[in-house]
Structure 1
Amino acid sequence: MGGTEHLTVRREGATLILTLNRPEARNALSLPMLVGLYDGWIEADADDSVRSVVFTGAGGCFCAGMDLKALAGGSMSGEEYRERLTADPDLHWKAMLRHHRPRKPVVAAVEGPCVAGGTEMLQGTDIRVAGESAVFGLYEVRRGLFPIGGSTVRLPRQIPRTHALEMLLTGRPYSAREAADIGLIGRVVPDGSALDTALEIADRINACGPLAVEAVKASVYETAAMTETDGLAAELARGRPVFDTADAREGTRAFAEKRPPVYKRA
């Protein structure tokens, strides 16, 4: 199991938990964090015993985005990881879920600030839970910057365009309640309970057939830009093979026998 000084990785049952771990800097992005995140996503994809991922931050904060002080000074912490980015110039975009979509469901557990790069990474997750005091926003325009982590493309596809443009063009903060109202997050929970709630959701996912879960997620994303006719055809191509699996037979048999199913990814 991987991880770096700014990204911790641990298992809880069939869930892999990735935690941004730089609370003294409000979990601002760093080279060790990006490398650790990338490795975490790859580990989740490669390990069939992992059925879900929970993505969170340490110290009551999700992520405050890029480390602007380090950026202004021309250096970022963890320069010893620079060779990883040199070897794969796309690594940081994969780490931030701009150029990588994990095949396992990703549940975000947000406490405190989730702004700029934090809100950008959030858009690469599948299910989102936030504590009441969480704050969201894309602050880049306020600094004369561009939210290049994918937000001008993804955000208008995930929430109504008028809300997306207001968030993008004003750079203002959004409360958790407002973020939920516009559809950026799915649940608002009492402060300090986002991780527990995310783990509960992950446990429900883990109890389902993993082949079915992964096929459903893949279908949702691959058909998003299709016409309805093309999307329905793609759904059949993706969904029909699931019915021919041993897991599908196990699921129906377990239902008939009134017992929990035992899925084997077969």
Structure 2
Amino acid sequence: MSDEVLVSVDDGIMVVTINRPKAKNSVNLAVAKGIAAAMDELDSNDEIRAAILTGADNTFCAGMDLKAFVSGEMPVLPGRGFAGLVEAPPKKPLIAAVEGFALAGGFELAITCDLVVTSREAKFGIPEAKRGLVAAAGGLMRLPKQIPPRIAMEMAMTGDFIDAQRAYELGLVNRVVDAGSSVEAAKALAKSIAANGPMAVIGSKRIINESADWTEENMWGNQQAITDPIFSSEDAIEGATAFAEKRAPVWKGK
């Protein structure tokens, strides 16, 4: 993994940092490969319960590296899409910790994450139309599902930014915190998640994400297929036993 993506793991929480501050943490192919590798490690390592995606030097991500784009480089991986993430998010929880700007592809990375913690000073937007481009890394598809469609339409067609408070009012972000504290706030949120049963967390995320496409006829059966292995797991017994014994559960993830 290159030094353009920094990865650390502490107490079951992974922090993935886009480390191109001189380029406003814009995404090139090396960054895409680094994020993809981190997501593979997140999902394959049972010791890691959740991850945080952030950017170095008080900027989240300014989107695709346009200089690299002009030279013919695309920061897209087959089957994974832009930044090695937007078409194949991890099965485990992923939290965006946003400082500064989350624009264009950077904004699309943020809304690909399951939860978003943002600095009060942050700005969000999909300004691609101002450059003759479109927000094709999920912005035009995910955003109308996360905020009112007419607001999403306005953001896409004008390319104008919104601030953190407006993003919170729209339900686009979970928490707004003081400048410079988004990663620590995201870690606190991740620790709350990591304290829970890992199978239950992964299953809950899957049901919420997939059920939007389920019909009345198949939704209960689809849910049962996901929840049955959880209810019959060792962790389910451990959770109930720990509650009765008034102690913290010891999860096995099975």
Q: State the TM-score bracket (shorter-chain normalisation).
A: over 0.9
In structure 2, relative to structure 1, the CA distance for the partners of 1:89 and 1:64 (3 Å cut) is closer
- Say whether the 8 Å CA contact 2:105–2:137 is kept in structure 1: yes
Deviation of 1:219 after TM superposition, in Å, equals 1.1
Q: Equivalent residue for 1:260?
A: 248
Identity level (%)? 39
2:188 aligned partner: 200
Q: Paired residues, what number?
A: 254
* Aligned equivalent of 1:90, options 71, 78, 90: 78
Question: What SS class does the counterpart of residue 6 from structure 2 fall into?
Answer: strand
How far 1:128 sits from its partner (Å)?
A: 0.5
Counterpart residue identity of residue 202, structure 1? A
Match of 1:46 in 2: 44
Deviation at 1:97, TM superposition (A): 2.4
Q: 1:69 aligns with which of 67, 70, 86?
A: 67
- Counterpart of 1:120 in structure 2 is 108
Shift of 1:91: 6.0
Matches within 5 A, 1:169-184: 169-184=157-172
Which consecutive residues of structure 2, in runs of 5 or more, have no partner in the other structure?
none
CA contact (8 A) 1:38 1:94 kept: no
The Cα shift of 1:221 comes to 1.1
- Could you tell me how far 1:240 is from its partner in structure 2? 2.2
Provide the residue aligned with 1:13 in structure 2.
Answer: 11
- Indicate the RMSD between aligned Cα atoms, in angstroms: 1.7
Distance change >3 Å, CA 199–CA 147, structure 1 → 2: same
1:5 and 1:32 in contact (8 A); partners too: no
Q: Distance in 1 between matches of 2:111 and 2:191?
A: 22
Cα drift, residue 231 of structure 1: 2.2
How far off is 1:89 after superposition? 4.9
Question: Alignment partner of 2:40: what SS?
Answer: helix
**What is aligned with 1:237?**
225
Aligned partner of 1:133 in structure 2 is: 121
Q: CA–CA distance in 2 between the matches of 1:61 and 1:232?
A: 42
CA distance in 2, matches of 1:207, 1:20: 27
The structural deviation recorded for 1:5 is 1.7
Aligned residue for 1:190?
A: 178
Shift of 1:7: 0.3
For residues 191 and 89 of structure 1, what CA distance do their matches in structure 2 show? 33
Pair 1:168-2:168 in alignment: no
TM-score (norm 2): 0.95
How far the C-alpha of 1:113 sits from its partner, in A, is 0.5
Moved more, 32-41 or 231-240: 231-240
Residues 202 and 8 of structure 1: CA distance in aligned 2, closer, same or farther (over 3 Å): same
Aligned position for 1:79: none
**Per-residue deviation at 1:95?**
3.5
Distance 1:228 1:192 in 2: 45
Q: Structure 2: how far apart are the matches of 1:244 and 1:69?
A: 52
From the superposition, tell whether residues 91 and 158 of structure 1 become closer, same or farther in structure 2 (CA, over 3 Å): same
On the 8 A contact 1:109/1:128 being kept in 2, the answer is yes
Shift of 1:176: 0.6
For residues 16 and 219 of structure 1, the distance between their equivalents in structure 2, rounded to whole angstroms, comes to 23
Cα distance in structure 2, aligned partners of 1:263 and 1:10: 22
Q: Secondary structure at the match of 1:10?
A: strand
